Amino acid sequence: VQPLVSSLSALLGAEKVLSGDAIGDDYTHDEALCGERHVPLAVVLPSGVDDVRRVLVWASDNRVPVTARGAGTGLSGACVPRANGVVVSFERMKRVLEIDTENHVAIVEPGVSLEALNAAVAEKGLVYPVFPGENSATLGGNVATNAGGMRAVKYGVTRHHVLGLEAVLATGEVIRTGGKFVKTSTGYDLTQLVIGSEGTLALVTQVTLKLVPLLRHSATLLAPFPTLDEAVCTIPLLVVSGVGPLLVEYIDRMTMMAITAQSGVSLGIGADMQASTEAYLLVVVEGRTADRVDEDTQLAGATLAEHGASDVFVLPASAATQLIDAREKSFWAAKRAQASEVVDVVVPRASLPEFMHQVKAIAERHSTFIPGCGHAGDGNVHLAVFERDPDKRYALMRELFEAGRRLGGVISGEHGIGVEKKRYFLELEDPAKIALLRRIKQAFDPNSILNPGTIFD
């Protein structure tokens, strides 16, 4: 061990390598609820692409596993290192390199957080519109997980906003893909292949992002529904109504109680109505002018009311911000309530009612309850599973994943496979596709040094 770490320090300079007690606990885990922790041999803190290149050549020569790390906010164990491996943490590569206002493009290093990026581009009247719920997450992590979030119903997910990458292959070769343009028909799309690959194909050292104009007018509607079924049946109607909502989230009653209690938010809805509500829809519309937003608010409100909402509240701006923030923190409420897993199945949005029926039946069969909320406009749910026994939890989660797949969905809409969902993925996915993915992995990373054990064994 010691000679390996010494050779790494000699290669990069001791100030870029942490080992032994200098490796803080944060580097050993992410936010996955059941995840294992591993202390790596060393943590490397590159300051540029050349450092990354040198680490990968060294790791290939010495057959040392390498796990990239952004902010460690992932929910699938994908940045948890191997005990015999090194972490490449991008915390020092956090420069916004360029904001090109004519092309609506930003070029960033992978360690830039969503918060820092949006603060920088807001000054130019622009926004990077992908909003996964955790603002400390990095663009490198977002690319590697293809992060989604609440605004995907309008703007899509990370892969719809990444125009190009600079990435280092396991061999140490540096590739540049795409650029400041929005289309390409020039061979296989390597940008899209690397997006969502969870650090298993290449290490991303620069990201070219598509920005959009910041729309300054918005309205937030909260609609309580007597049944979950009515709430989720209304979602496709809302999305196709022409309103083009920025956000359509469902929150079931138990989750709403947990997130409002955790954040100290008052819904401003009478106790009787809250007691007769099984689920809420939270809808945001945005636009360039206040008139346009008013028009869309009317239409969205009418759609919600016509399809079973007990009432429709247009929230004051500060209450809206607080409630959306509380919803973004639902993961912490689930963690506090000692959930053992959060499942993020995605199905076609029109199949959500049937999926939720099946979730209820699965919960009853397993004598448990499965509360949740989610990006319902995308058909993407976040269900909290409470089952400590690993075998029972496996059986329950497999049924949830199978139900999603039968309805034309997949087992993860945005959190990734990582190590936590690997077993289900390998058991349930088409073997021909798994075999092809393995061959792609082999082509990129012949010695299997990049995040081995993530997605596949």
Ligand X SMILES: Cc1cc2nc3c(=O)[nH]c(=O)nc-3n(C[C@H](O)[C@H](O)[C@H](O)COP(=O)(O)OP(=O)(O)OC[C@H]3O[C@@H](n4cnc5c(N)ncnc54)[C@H](O)[C@@H]3O)c2cc1C
Q: Looking at 19, 28, 118, 142, which residue binds ligand X (CB under 6 A)?
A: 142
What minimum distance in Å lies between the beta carbon of 289 and ligand X? Answer: 29
Give the range of 126-134, 248-256, 261-269, 401-409 binding ligand X by CB under 6 A. 126-134
Q: Which is nearer to ligand X, 325 or 427 (CB)?
A: 325
Q: Looking at 60, 118, 138, 277, which residue binds ligand X (CB under 6 A)?
A: 138
Told to check if 376 binds ligand X by CB under 6 A, we report no
Told to check if 198 binds ligand X by CB under 6 A, we report yes
x/- contact string, 158-177, with ligand X (CB under 6 A)? --------------------
Told to check if 75 binds ligand X by CB under 6 A, we report yes
Told to check if 134 binds ligand X by CB under 6 A, we report yes
Binding-site size for ligand X (CB under 6 A) equals 38
Give the range of 131-139, 282-290, 298-306, 318-326 binding ligand X by CB under 6 A. 131-139
Q: Which is nearer to ligand X, 230 or 344 (CB)?
A: 344
C-alpha 115, offset from chain centre: 15
Told to check if 285 binds ligand X by CB under 6 A, we report no
x/- contact string, 24-43, with ligand X (CB under 6 A)? ------xx------------
Told to check if 195 binds ligand X by CB under 6 A, we report no
Q: Looking at 70, 287, 372, 452, which residue binds ligand X (CB under 6 A)?
A: 70
Told to check if 149 binds ligand X by CB under 6 A, we report yes
Told to check if 110 binds ligand X by CB under 6 A, we report yes
